[in-house]
Amino acid sequence: MRGLARAAKRAGDMAFNAGGGAVNWFPGHMAAASRAIRDRLKLADLVIEVRDARIPLSSANEDLQPVLAAKRRILALNKKDLANPNIMNMWLHHFESCKQDCISVNAHSSTSVGQLLGLVEFKLKEAISKEPTLLVMVVGVPNVGKSVLINSIHRIATSRFQVQDKNKRATVGPLPGVTQDIAGYKIASQPSIYVLDTPGVLVPSIPDMETGLKLALTGAVKDSVVGEERIAKYLLSLLNIRKTPLHWERLLHRREELDEESCNSNGKNYSDTPRRRRRLNNSDTLYVQDMVMEVQRTLCSTFMDFTGNTEDEGELERLIDAQLVDLRKVFRIPHKPFDETHGPASKKLLTLFRSGKLGPFILDDLPDDQ
Packed helices 244-265 and 228-241: angle between N→C axes, nearest 10 degrees = 80
Contact residues for 53 (Cβ-Cβ < 8 A; gap 6+): 77, 78, 79, 80, 82, 83, 88, 91, 104, 362
pLDDT band at residue 132 under the 50/70/90 scheme: confident
Pick the residue with more confidence: 9 or 207?
A: 207
pLDDT over threshold 80, residue 173:
no
Segment among 30-44, 64-78, 85-99, 213-227 with least mean pLDDT: 30-44
pLDDT of 284 strictly over 70: no
Q: Greater confidence, 78 or 42? A: 78
pLDDT for the residue numbered 196: 82
Is 70 exceeded by the pLDDT of residue 280?
no
- Among candidate residues 55, 248, 78, 100, the one with its CA nearest the CA of residue 148: 78
Average pLDDT over residues 227-241: 94
pTM over 0.95: no
Q: Mean pLDDT lowest for which of 248-252, 283-287, 313-317?
A: 283-287
Tens digits of per-residue pLDDT, 175-202?
555 455 556 777 777 677 788 877 777 7
* Range picked from 176-180, 194-198, 262-266, 358-362 for highest mean pLDDT: 358-362
Q: Which residue has the higher pLDDT, 357 or 188?
A: 357
pLDDT at res. 257: 56
pLDDT band at 290 (very low <50, low <70, confident <90, very high): confident
Greater pLDDT, 95 or 161 = 95
- Give the model's confidence band at 274: pLDDT under 50 very low, under 70 low, under 90 confident, else very high: very low
> Other C-beta atoms within 10 Å of 84: how many?
17
What is the structure's pLDDT at 208?
A: 80
Residue 204 — pLDDT band, cuts 50, 70, 90? Answer: low
